[in-house]
């Protein structure tokens, strides 16, 4: 989830839809089962997420997921944006 300010109002984002106005979003790689990589670009901020599922002996039901989230601001001044992970 992340919060952006648009038109002097706060907007909470937790999903990506076409009408949200993100310049880029979607999967760049995935196999539909146990790994995926996606890219989201929202108001000068690039989010990349990578998901990996492991099924070890001690894993929970169906396996365990690991996620890596990377955030890169395109501009130095991003004081009106908060990120909550």
> Domain limits of the chain?
22-75
Token pair 């992970």: residue: 85
Helix (H) or strand (E) holding 79: none
Give me the pLDDT at residue 28, please: 95
Give me the pLDDT at residue 18, please: 72
Q: Is residue 17 packed enough to be buried (19+ CB in 10 Å), middle (13-18) or exposed (0-12)?
A: exposed
Give me the pLDDT at residue 44, please: 79
Give me the pLDDT at residue 50, please: 95
**Per-residue pLDDT of the chain in tens (85 residues, 90 and over written 9):** 667 777 788 777 767 777 777 888 889 999 988 999 999 888 778 989 999 998 888 887 888 989 998 988 887 644 455 555 5
Torsion of CA 15, 64, 66, 48, to 10 degrees: -30
């Amino acid at each position: 989830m992340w919060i952006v300010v648009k038109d002097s109002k706060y907007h909470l984002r937790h999903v990506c839809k076409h009408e949200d106005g993100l310049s880029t979003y979607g999967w760049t790689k995935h196999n539909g089962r146990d790994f995926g990589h996606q890219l989201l670009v929202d108001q000068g901020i690039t989010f990349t997420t990578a998901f990996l599922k492991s099924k070890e002996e001690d894993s929970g039901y169906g396996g365990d997921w690991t996620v890596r989230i990377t955030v890169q601001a395109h501009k130095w001044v991003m004081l009106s944006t908060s990120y909550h992970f």
